[in-house]
Structure 1
Amino acid sequence: MKKVVLTIVSVFFAVLLFAQANDPIVGKWQNPSGEGKIEIYKKSDKYYGKLYWIKDANKKDAKNPDEKLRSRKIQGLEILTNFTKDGDTYSGGQIYDPKSGKTYSCKMTLKGKDKLDIRGYMGVSLLGRTETWKRID
């Protein structure tokens, strides 16, 4: 019985590692200022990202346009939502900026295995800003 359970657990972890290898965006990333660390993960067929660490862990979402959400902590907040994969580009999603309380359309592009360009924009991608996140362990 022990061998069966160990085999099942081993297969589970092998499948999990294989799935992550096929999704190179999945993992932990740091923004350029070093103020935040984001974990990108896959739910169903979409990609999401959570702000799992910030310098001030007690900081609130004070600039959120929804008054009811202003008392929630920023740490743990899902800031990347609904991205779909197309080669090295992940698009169709949005990014929430807790510093401004604004949500932008967003496109993410892998640049090698340890750099990720994040482009937030309103309307057209041409009218936006890009920053590069670095992969961390």
Structure 2
Amino acid sequence: MNSKVKRIINILYSITGTYNPFIIAELLNIDVHYKNLGGHPLGHCSKILKETVIVLDSSLVDSPIRFFICAHELCHAIKHSDIASYYSLNELSKGKLEYEADIFAFELIKLLFSIELTEESITDEMANDYGINFIN
């Protein structure tokens, strides 16, 4: 695991006692809402009147992928909160921020579900059930 990501996740766990991105967001006073985003993007993180808000597509309400998408957006809320909008970035910067958020989400969700899954099945199970399309 990337040392910066590991440090951030460890700090979050020490503050919140969980790896669940929804509970972490709640404890950090980050609102999570479901809205119809038309399926793309599946999530978005914004600051509205100095309040950080994560919006997830309404298609994710009952989907286990919601954990990964919420964790991805949580990373943006924590690490990239000073950036007004990812649309204002150039493609190289946007790609780097998205990659960082994917790595963070992958590692957080891996820890969240590691109790339920055997060590051998974590990556296969996550790739199939939680929408993770890369293996670190």
Q: Is this a same-fold pair by TM over 0.5?
A: no
User: Could you state the TM-score of these two structures normalised by the residue count of structure 2?
Assistant: 0.27
Q: Point out the structure with max Rg over C-alpha.
A: 1
Higher relative contact order (CA 8 A, sep 6+): 2
User: Could you state the TM-score of these two structures normalised by the residue count of structure 1?
Assistant: 0.27
Quick check: which one's helix share is greater? 2
